[in-house]
Structure 1
Amino acid sequence: MPNIVTAKEVGQYLKLSESTIYKLATNGEIPGFKIGDSWRFDMEDILKLIRDSKKESPNQGKNRNV
């Protein structure tokens, strides 16, 4: 069974404001769905997004010569 969470819970997990989560969801930048006027998120989809982001930027966080 999926772990369905609110925008507030996603925001707490990602350390982002609830309004930022709404904006990202509205723009299609994070996966979510609406039930009536309320946004809901499958935590597995959020975790997959994080894993996929890490794969796309393997050099992130490393020192770079300029």
Structure 2
Amino acid sequence: MEARDTRWISVTEVARHLGVARDTVYRWIDSRGLPAHRVGRFWKFQLSEVDAWVKSGEAEVPNNADLGDLTRRKR
């Protein structure tokens, strides 16, 4: 295993790696099982676990129906 695979990274680094907002990372921890480890009051991640999770397809949005609230205009 490479040193890169065992390095612990932050929410900000995971968000940057995945190209999403920090809020999305927190939401994925709660609702999609993004592999994260609580260290005190911080979330930490192993890049190898995050990449395996993405490859498993868990990060994908199932269909546009799940985006209903995001795609509708608020009046």
State whether TM-score is above 0.5. yes
| 1:24 aligned onto 2:40 | no
Residue equivalent to 1:49: 53
Residue equivalent to 1:15: 19
Output the aligned Cα RMSD.
2.2
The secondary structure found in structure 1 opposite 2:35 is: coil
Alpha-carbon separation, structure 1, partners of 2:7 and 2:54:
16
Percent identity between matched residues is 16
Which residue identity lines up with residue 6 of structure 1 in the other structure?
Answer: S
Moved over 3 A (4+): none
Count, aligned residues = 55
Structure 2: tracts of 5 or more residues without a match: 61-75
Structure 1 residue 19 displacement after superposition: 1.4
